[in-house]
Amino acid sequence: MNNANAKDVIKLKFLAVSAVLAAVTRNTTNGGHSPYQLDQLTEAERMSVITIGIEQLEVGMYVLEIAEQRAGTVHIKTRGRVTSQATIDELKRKGITRLVIETDVESNSTVSGQGLPANQYLETTVPLEDELARAEKLYHQGLKIQENLYKAIQDGTPFDDYVPKEFSTSLVGSLDRNPDALLLMTKIREKDSYLLEHSLNVGILLANFARFLELDEQEIEQLAYSGLLHDLGKIKIDDAILHKPGRLTVEEMEEMKKHVNYGVEFLHQMKIDSSLIKWVSEHHERLDGLGYPAQLTADQITRQGRMLAIVDMYDALTADRCYKPGMSSQKALQILLKDSKNKLDPSLLQQFIRCMGIYPVGSLVELSNNKVALVIKQNDKQPLKPHVRVFYSTAGNHYLTPKEVNLATDDRVKIDKAVVASDYNIDINRFFNESVLS
Ligand SMILES: [Fe+2]
């Protein structure tokens, strides 16, 4: 093929791709089925652009666009080449059923120098820095929604579930783009906002756990929603009991237990889906039948209720309260393990521990060079060596100019132990605001 012919074919291909993309866009708004008319394309065009089912997608293929997906709000960020089976699995999990692919883009060529960069990889995630600002906004929006929900239950006024439900979808969207951003946000605690933050954090951690278990997108969103709603009944409990620093008396405990049914009653008024209400009603039930309010036993508790119980306990143990600092993640997970024998689902707990990792994103670690760092990203292949942001010297007890270190590639320093901010009187919120979110 001479140069002029080759250029013509490339140009035709580009026109075909543009036509296809336009057709895909039109079709998506119409419920999205067959995205374009094959018989309107030339033979060369037919060879280069096809729609395939997700089960036909293979590593190395070049994806132009999603042609069809089950209900949901998933979008691929860029077109590009599929580089791993993990990407295919993620697309499947997100409910994508058909895709438009380009069959003839060579890895070292581009089409007329415009569009379709052939060496671009299909991205379903974004860098942490890109997601942090969105996650911060979302987190504050979540706190506001929680506040409004508590106010509604306290005042006995009806509450439309549209806003919190939509919020749950956005929350999962942020986790899909980059889970580390919202996971970092769960570490910013205001001491007197426990009630609001706890439910929001449980929603985030539960959705993250559900993603780890590769549940489908719809169930992940429902679990996020159940986390947001699980403790609403607490607003009806007297503050003296709710915020009591010490152990509750038997009478106080009986009063406290009522929060589950108060919440469930409100969720019925909100006309929340009944399966979701069941999960919420189970968050204090235990496998040995010694939980509350219904003393259900193992086979009566749903998997979602068991997941909620684990995440609820984990967040309660790691949260800073006005009367005590939160525990490190390791210590909290150890306590859950000790408690798991007859109470928490042991296999789900093992999965949750794997999901959180040895040093979860957002946790603090002390390094061998007497510096404290924030874990900002896991290294999947080397869980003991995450990416961290070093920001505090324990030798001089002062803040440092933050510096990012990938412990997997820097042999000079390693993690000595997990720590919590209160060990060194570190103002973690100030650090977040000045050095992570800014
Ligand atoms: Fe609760």
What residue spans define the domains of the chain? 3-102, 128-356, 364-436
Tokens found for residue 332: 């909290």
CA of 335 to the centre of ligand 1 (A): 18
CA of 226 to the centre of ligand 1 (A): 12
pLDDT of res. 81: 80
Backbone angles phi, psi at 373, to 5 degrees: -135, 155
For the packed helices 250-269 and 274-281, what is the interaxial angle rounded to 10 degrees? 170
pLDDT of res. 159: 83
CA of 280 to the centre of ligand 1 (A): 9
pLDDT of res. 71: 54
CB burial string 190-205: b at 16+ within 10 A, e below:
eeeebbbbbbbbbbbb
Overall fold of domain 128-356: Hypothetical protein af1432 (1.10.3210)
CA of 308 to the centre of ligand 1 (A): 10
How far is it, in rounded angstroms, from Cα 102 to Cα 225? 38
pLDDT of res. 46: 46
- Give which of 64, 66, 116 is closest to 92, Cα–Cα: 66
CA of 277 to the centre of ligand 1 (A): 13
pLDDT of res. 148: 93
pLDDT digit of tens for each residue in the chain (438 aa)?
Answer: 344 343 333 333 333 333 333 333 333 333 333 333 444 445 444 457 888 998 999 888 888 877 877 654 555 555 678 877 777 877 777 778 888 888 764 443 333 334 445 555 565 677 888 889 999 999 999 999 999 999 998 888 888 888 999 999 899 989 988 899 999 999 877 766 888 999 999 999 999 999 999 898 889 999 999 999 999 999 999 999 988 888 899 999 999 999 999 999 999 988 999 999 999 999 999 999 999 999 999 999 999 999 999 999 999 999 887 777 889 998 999 999 987 889 999 999 999 999 998 899 989 999 999 999 999 988 878 888 999 999 999 998 888 899 999 999 998 999 999 999 888 888 887 777 777 776
pLDDT of res. 203: 97
CA of 228 to the centre of ligand 1 (A): 11
How far is it, in rounded angstroms, from Cα 340 to Cα 354? 15
The angle subtended at Cα 179 by Cα 375 and Cα 150, nearest 5°, is 105
CA of 273 to the centre of ligand 1 (A): 19
CA of 243 to the centre of ligand 1 (A): 13
Under a CB-based contact definition with an 8 Å cutoff, are residues 102 and 117 in contact? no
CA of 319 to the centre of ligand 1 (A): 14
Contacts of 143 (CB under 8 A, 6+ apart): 193, 196, 197, 200
CA of 363 to the centre of ligand 1 (A): 24
Backbone angles phi, psi at 94, to 5 degrees: -80, 5
Q: What type of residue is 119? A: N
Backbone angles phi, psi at 81, to 5 degrees: -85, 140
pLDDT of res. 189: 72
How far is it, in rounded angstroms, from Cα 41 to Cα 35? 13
CA of 26 to the centre of ligand 1 (A): 47
How far is it, in rounded angstroms, from Cα 17 to Cα 328? 52
CA of 293 to the centre of ligand 1 (A): 11
